[in-house]
Amino acid sequence: MEELLQVGAGQSYAGGARQRITIPAGTYKMSLYAKTSGSLSAAQMTVTDAAGNARTLNIPASSGFTRRELANIPLSAGTATVTIRAASGNGYLTVDQLALVRTDGSTPTGQRYEAETAPAVCLGTIDTNHSGFTGTGFCNSDAAVGAYAQFTVNAAQAGTATLGVRFANAQSGGTARPANLVVNGTTVGTVSFESTGAWNTWSTKSLTASLNAGSNTVRLEPTTADGLPNLDHLDVGPTAG
């Protein structure tokens, strides 16, 4: 994120400029070059993450552009809001090279969504009777066409992401359990969940799908009356534009 702007305030820290961006969870550094004019004595840059946690960088008066930064800011995944506000005075804050940069890795990491954890939806039951699952349980969907499991996932940017679906299928006769892959309400493919041999033997099916920046729904809908396999979790890799 980079932006050139000028901010003034008739009342102390009222108004200002605000920008919202979607980010993955991580540790960040926010920085800018700033200068003040007239009698404006101070300003602030604040970042607030999707969980409501806020960190503020105080910007003192400076007649020339001076770099200001605040590092080691933990932010949760989702929409972060960056706000620039000025103290009152007869003058302006001028900002250049405004940046919010992730510092705990060169690329975004993937995210895991457990089938038993809201806002995931399991049209069936959350069970624990087969070992080897992650989290606190797994989704045992209803044995019917029309049943489904749905995950609400976040993407830092629009693009193609890798989806890893961890499942177990011990259907008698080794029969696969096929399902439609539905992303944001649109069917984008069909998945065959083959037999894993036992209900406590888990496997991961690797898929790809195009995601929007921000929140997305990923739904698996069975195409036969056998329903879905048992679903443990969904791993979502970083999107590539």
Query: Per-residue pLDDT tens for 164-201?
Result: 999 999 998 889 999 999 999 999 999 999 999 999 99
Q: What is the mean pLDDT of residues 136-158?
A: 93
Residues 82, 181 within the same domain: no
**Residues 120 and 176 placed together within one structural domain of the fold:** yes
Q: Give the number of domains in the chain.
A: 2
pTM of the model: 0.57
116 plus 82 within the same structural domain: no
The answer to whether residue 241 sits within a structural domain is no
Q: Are residues 19 and 119 in the same domain?
A: no
| 69 domain-assigned | yes
What is the pLDDT averaged over residues 33-53?
Answer: 84
Same domain for 35 and 72?
yes
d(CA 209, CA 35): 45
**Tens digits of per-residue pLDDT, 65-117?**
888 899 889 998 888 898 888 776 666 778 777 788 887 754 445 689 999 99
